[in-house]
Amino acid sequence: MTLGKSIVAGLLYTAMLAGANPSFGQNDNLSEIRALIPTDAVNFQLHDEPKPVTDIAFLDADESPIHLGEFIGKTIVLNFWATWCAPCVAEMPSLDKLQATLGSDEFKVITVAAGRNPLPMIEKFFERENLTNLPKYRDPKMTFASAMGVRGLPVTVIINPNGNEIARANGEAVWDSPEMITLLRKISQK
């Protein structure tokens, strides 16, 4: 294990210990958060307790490995998608707008193309749809997606600043609706 991986592993372990309580950091009113879930977000599930996530690497646009541990301290909207998946393609513009609206040092939308999605195809799709706010991450062998429990696409996982999964949406959602933005702002409050 390299020094960098050791540091990331140590940070993740510390973050998991810090996030082992059932609250979302300072935000412990689950019923208040549940009340904010948009009525049309039937596939959005808020967990009663945070769940640890894997730190298996995925690839950035330069084919370099990247780990979720690099984003500790931020609320993450982690979306697994594919260029061939119609519901994935349909929700990408709303994820792009969500990142444009809420993206900051404390909030980030991370999109990971799972499976066979060559970078040129992803770039062509991003250009055609005018997606300018999302990263072009990939998981070509689906090892990261599989470890995250992804069984179909799209899947979006909400991760708190401690590095724990706090919610999940299986299927397409409208991520830039005013109701969803209000919900995500509440979830990400520290």
Res. 7: pLDDT tops 50: no
Among 157, 166, 173, 179, residue whose Cα is nearest residue 43: 173
Q: Give residue 83's Cα distance to chain centre.
A: 17
The number of domains in the chain is 1
Concatenated DSSP letters for 120-132? HHHHHHHHHHT--
CB 187 within 8 A of CB 32: no
Q: What whole-number distance in Å separates Cα of residue 190 and Cα of residue 184?
A: 12
Predicted model pTM: 0.85
pLDDT (mean) for 150-158:
98
50 Cβ contact list (under 8 Å, min separation 6): 19, 20, 22, 24, 160, 162, 164, 165, 166
How many C-beta atoms lie closer than 10 Å to residue 144's C-beta?
26
Domain enclosing residue 25, as ranges: 3-188
Q: Could you tell me the CATH number of the domain that includes residue 91?
A: 3.40.30.10
* pLDDT over 90 percentage in the chain: 83
What was the pLDDT predicted at 17? 39
Q: What whole-number distance in Å separates Cα of residue 38 and Cα of residue 160?
A: 20
* 101 token code pair: 């609206």
pLDDT band for 190, please (50, 70, 90 cuts).
low
Q: Which ranges constitute the DSSP H helices of the chain?
A: 3-18, 30-35, 86-102, 119-129, 143-147, 178-188
Res. 25: pLDDT tops 70: no
Res. 154: pLDDT tops 80: yes
* 190 or 160: which leads in pLDDT: 160
